[in-house]
A and B are shown apart, each in its own frame.
Chain A
């Protein structure tokens, strides 16, 4: 799974990575993945999976997905 932490969200990752590749054996909730990366869900305003807008609360991601998350500043909100 390819993940882009947009805007200031990569500040939370201890390694400050904006683009990550994460192998996934099975679909997982994106919120749990972001928690592991220390990204607070309250800072996520916009989320797309394969270019489609999605809600964080219900998002499941798989190994082949392209995921982008952005904060309120410079990301807006649906």
Chain B
């Protein structure tokens, strides 16, 4: 009888070409049950402060959640973590798909990758057989042929391939990892870290069963069956299956919170050309899923019209539509799908890439980037050809694309003038397509998240605004006592945010997708508790699950403190303290005073010192990680 884990980590030293096995016991795993928690623990243990994120001293940790690989919808995710080359801070990104579960079924809870190979290599894993192999013939190739080649090399078409394209090879600071050609560890530049190590891909085949590791496999399977049957019976999971995230565009526009023209505006005149109905008619070729997931929120697209878009790389999600669409002033959904395809082929984070495109367009419109630098093209908002050119130049580091590949913070510093004002980032990571002036708790999440701006840190404010809504009732289960207006930026908003952040962080530890558990979707809080108990055999209640999430966040925060980050880094771009133009929230801005007051309340709610933004030794001790306090001295 297991406790939900294989108990084994694979260690790969690329400098020496050495492979070894590291084991841990159940008591250790109870504290760090995978994903973000185990990754943050390993980074603190393995990485010395101040190392070059793109040098051999960085460590890339690929870690499954405890529940990852269970036959339960949305239990699919693994964490990729390292010191981020984009932010210099704790870097992390989760991906679904099939690679994480496959790694677990091969017997591995995760992989710790250190050093740097002298020449391109890939890792071949078939259960406990692991080899570092020559990848010189694959370097420079796109993910689709690489996946085909590696499946042939391992002699098994069910091999799952995690890899980088040229964005990662060229160490674009926001390069992503891609698995199965359509699932991404998008944020924080983990693809650049893998590229800097000369590691092209990790091909995995596992023939084990989750039941080999679970405490009560029958109970886990029964929970999985019960949840799968209910997907169509819950409005939110049904909606994810029907439309996926592209369904969000119209409503955000109506609410005045659809980021438009680099967060200048909150509504987009061309919204009817990029809404779900157009997506369904012009792009959609199939609905896809992750491992064992009945929600099936992934879209596949194929276009042979104004643009040719391959169906190999998956369809654009809301973030990508918002980013390359309204935020770049572009209303051609086929062009947006093409940009999404390029991000797949080059393995670029579509959030940061689209934000960099919007930044470059605004710089061009203000004369900070000239037509001499663009090859004569007018990089204006709304120019779809320019958008595709910029993405191409970034991936190849061509011309000024070389600077844009560094991210908005570095590019703005080099360009000078007003460019820093146009750089919409937190800690160096570009903003996702959610407007903090309309959802202030999302803004708190952008500001405080260790990896910079991220939309999956918070549960978005409208979810806990109406006391009779489905989402509020779920949030109340997690300890949110009062309904709060989405634009109320107050200490009580900060306290509610903190409570819910622990829940989103717990999901990143345990391996649940954001689109599984309530309040965002159908799996009720008590069912999550039940699933964790069945998988692990641990007598955890929901408060313990929230503590798991909190512990992980605190470890990441200690990592940042050690790198010298402080309260001044927990902020938002200046533009958000000015008024929104256009749309339902025209004229609305964030108040700096209210923001700082709420942040102080947020540090207090977390048990952190508001002056330093660091966890107090008492809080770390209460979370069972008192040892981490010494690392900040």
Contacts and interface: CB of A to CB of B under 8 A. Distances in A.
Interface in A1-28: 4, 6-9, 11-12
Contacts, number: 91
A75 B468 contact: no
Which size bracket describes the interface of B in this complex? 20 to 34
B485 A76 contact: no
A42 B472 CA distance: 10
Given A6-B254, A53-B584, A74 B469 contact: no
Interface stretch (B46-54, B233-241, B330-338): B233-241
Contact of B520 (A46, A73, A76): A73
A4 B463 CA distance: 21
B465 A45 contact: yes
A17 B316 CA distance: 24
Contact of B463 (A8, A12, A72): A72
B251 A48 contact: no
Contacts of A46: 251, 254-255, 584
A77 B235 contact: no
B578 interface: no
A63 interface: no
Contact of A11 (B238, B461, B584): B238
B584 to A, nearest CB: 5
Contacts of B460: 72-73
A6 B276 CA distance: 10
Nearest to B464: A72
Contact of A6 (B236, B251, B256): B251
Contact of B462 (A4, A6, A40, A77): A77
B485 A75 contact: no
B255 A75 contact: yes
Contacts of A42: 466-469
B470 interface: yes
Contacts of A45: 255, 462, 465-466, 469
Given A45-B465, A75-B462, A8 B236 contact: yes
A6 B250 contact: yes
A59 B461 CA distance: 24
A11 to B, nearest CB: 4
A8 B584 contact: no
A68 B250 CA distance: 10
B469 A43 contact: yes
A74 B257 CA distance: 9
Interface string B239-278: 1000000011011101111000000000000000000000
Given A8-B239, A73-B463, 12 more contacts: A6-B254, A7-B248, A11-B239, A53-B256, A53-B584, A71-B251, A72-B469, A72-B471, A73-B248, A73-B471, A74-B318, A76-B439
15 contacts: A11-B235, A42-B468, A45-B462, A72-B463, A72-B465, A72-B466, A72-B469, A73-B462, A73-B463, A74-B252, A75-B251, A76-B255, A76-B439, A77-B466, A77-B485
Closest 10 CB pairs of A and B: A76-B255, A42-B468, A72-B462, A70-B251, A75-B251, A74-B248, A8-B239, A11-B235, A8-B235, A74-B251
Interface of A: 4, 6-9, 11-12, 40, 42-43, 45-46, 48, 53, 68, 70-78
